[in-house]
Structures are given as structure tokens and as C-alpha cells.
Amino acid sequence: MKDRHPDVHSYYDHTRFDYRVMWNRRRRDVAVHFGYYDEHAHRHADTLDNMNRVMADLSGIRPGEQVLDAGCGLGNACFWMAEHRDAIVTGINIVESQIFDCQNFRNKKEVGNVDFIQADFCDMPFENNTFDVVWACESVCHAAEKVSFYREAFRVLKPGGRLVMAEYMRSRRPVSPEGERLLSAWLRPWAIPDIDTVEEHRSHASESGFKSVDITDITPNVRVSLRNLHEISTRWLPLGKVLHRFRLVDEVRLGNARASIRQFEALQAGAWLYGMLLAKKG
């Protein structure tokens, strides 16, 4: 690999096992995001779906509404919204292998109101005023220029449409030198160029035309899930180093484990928070 850091395609292609087996364990629907802990869910598997519930409730998804999942991962939220909110869902993703898996999952589930398209959420192949809700869970972080996503989300939303996001956000710019070191050690191996502050996200949304922008710090609800990943990665890393020495684990997977440890350390250092955003198109 010429660049020591993977791009989005390489990262998700190489870490398929990690998400499917190490993170989702015995779940059939693979969730490529963190879990939300509250009175509704306190077990890991349940908290992954609970994140979907919280985002769906916040955005007020109703039966028959058209929802776009921007950066849909392996389709977990799409299937959940179709089943639990009776929404008509389109998932988009630039990673070809993930779209292939999503389409296979859909065919096995025989779900008729979910579709998947390989597309860039910063340059969407949809007409203006198409969707009632644009949904983005831990995906906008991968965009080099976040404002490009906000402009496209505003364009494809119908008047009165809602944008709901769950995202990593800087506590400020810059943070302390140690915080910046930890952020870099986490973000680049995860194919994330950088993360924006709360105010930068608010500014992007307002600049793109959204009239109502609310951002809530939900770190307390996600902290256990973040710690879970830290513990899993800490336990696995020594074995991963041995397997890497024998070329049984590649550099991307090893870097993924190291970065997962640095992520929680950066959180403890106060370098970032986990935010949930709701914006409305007037």
C-alpha cells in the first residue's frame, strides 16, 4: 500500500470480518455503528438497533415516507426503518462490496420497500425534492468537505423534510496537542480525513439552507459502546500483531484495532464528542 492510510473502499473491504464477527457477534443484521444505551436497551446487540430507534423518533419518520440513508453501511438501518417504521428506504454507499452485500441481504429478506444504489452522498443521482428524510449515521465523517453533503441533503429533501445525523464532532479546533495526536491516530486509519466541530456542522447546515438546526451531545448514551470497542480492540491487538507478523492479518486491520483504542483515549482527553443533529428544510 503506497499510502499508509486506507481510503474508504480499502478500509471497509479489509475490515469486513471485524464488523461482522467481532462487533456484531451473533447478529444477523450487521450494524456498522455504535450503540445507544438508555432505559430501552442495555445489552450490546439491542443498543445497536436502539440507535436506529432514537434517530427515527427524533426525525419523526412516518409510514410511507421516503427516506435516504446516506452512507448506509451494510443496510442495518434501512431494514430497520422498513420493518419498524414502514418507510420506503433507499440506501447509498460508495463502497461497491457493501452495496453488493446489502443487495444480497435484501434478496434473502425479500423486503420490497428497500433499495440500494452505489452513489456518492456528496453528488447524489436524485432529483430535487425527492425525500422526506435524509439519514446519516457515522458516515459524513468520511467526507473531505462536509458542507458538500449538507448542500446535497438540502437539495434532495422535500420542503419540510428533515436531516438526521449521528456523528463524531470535535470539541473545538484545535484541541490540545495531545488531543490532536490522538485524533490523527484514530481518524486516518479509519479513512476519516478530519471531523468538524459542533459549530462547523451548524454553520454548514445553515449555509446550505436549513432553517432549524439542533445538535445534542449524546456522548453519555454512547460511552459504554465506545468503551466496548476499546476493550475488544485492546484484547485483540496482541494477537493481531502476531498474526500480522505471519501475514495472516493485514496492515489495515491492525491499524483499525490501534485506531479503535486511540478513539476512546481521544474521548477521555476531551478531544471530541458524539453528537446527534436534526435539521429541517423550510
Q: What is the 3-state secondary structure (H, E, C) of 57-87?
A: HHHCCCCCCEEEEECCCCCHHHHHHHHHCCC
Asked if the peptide bond before residue 177 counts as cis, ω within 30 degrees of 0, the response is: no
Tens digit of each residue's pLDDT, the chain (282 residues): 345 789 999 999 999 999 988 898 767 778 999 999 999 999 999 999 999 999 999 999 999 999 999 999 999 999 999 999 999 999 999 999 999 999 999 998 888 899 999 999 999 999 999 999 999 999 999 999 999 999 999 999 999 999 999 999 999 999 999 999 999 999 999 999 999 999 999 999 999 999 999 999 999 999 999 999 999 999 999 999 999 999 999 999 999 999 999 999 999 999 999 999 999 998
What is d(CA 232, CA 215) in angstroms, rounded to the nearest whole number?
30
Residue 3 belongs to a domain = no
Q: Is residue 50 part of a domain?
A: yes
Q: ω before 6 within 30° of 0 (cis)?
A: no
Establish if 2 belongs to a structural domain.
Answer: no
Helix, strand, coil shares of the chain, percent, nearest 5, are: 50, 20, 30
DSSP 197: B
Residue 9 to residue 95: CA distance in whole angstroms: 5
CA distance 115 to 41: 28
β-strands 131-137, 66-70 pairing: parallel
Give the CA diameter of the chain.
Answer: 57
Q: Is residue 1 part of a domain?
A: no
| DSSP, residue by residue, 104-124 | HHHHHHT-SSEEEEE-BTTB-
Total number of residues shown for the chain: 282
CB 164 within 8 A of CB 170: no
CATH of the domain at 268: 3.40.50.150
Classify residue 208: in a domain, yes or no.
yes
Q: How many domains does the chain have?
A: 1
**What is the structure's pLDDT at 3?**
52
Whole domain around residue 215: which residue ranges? 8-280
Question: What pLDDT, on the 0 to 100 scale, is given for residue 26?
Answer: 64
